[in-house]
Amino acid sequence: MCIDFLTSRADNELEEGLLIERLGRRVLILSGYSLMALWCATMTITLTYQASCTWVPYMTMTCLFAFILSFGLGPGGVTNTVTGELFTQSSRPAAYMISSSTNWICFFFISLVFPLIV
């Protein structure tokens, strides 16, 4: 089971790296944040009209999942790569630790809040 997880994670990292190299960091970051903004605006509209129709709560959940998917396809995968490229070799380990720690702390808080939203 552990080996299956590690090999699937390695395949995922390889695909992510190839996607970043093919499309470019700028495109992925801008498209990811643009889609996230679109889903936030759509979610705001659906939350406003949630009591008026029976299908609107399902649309709200769809917007939430699409927001998470947009983050994973854009800024979520690119931030670790960009951190390594922004800093010189001497300050790269410290910058990467600060960036990764902040990223994982935010993921932890999101995982705590997500069940309350759903």
Residue ranges per domain, the chain? 1-86
Closest CA to 99 of 118, 115, 85: 85
- pLDDT given at position 6: 44
8 Å CB contact between 74 and 32: yes
Q: How far apart are CA 110 and CA 112, in angstroms?
A: 5
**DSSP label at 95?**
H
Rounded average pLDDT over 89-118: 85
| 5-14, 54-63, 90-99: range with lowest mean pLDDT | 5-14
Q: Report whether pLDDT(58) > 60.
A: yes
Using CA atoms, how far apart are residues 44 and 11, in angstroms rounded to an integer? 36
Phi, psi of 51 (to 5 degrees): -85, -15
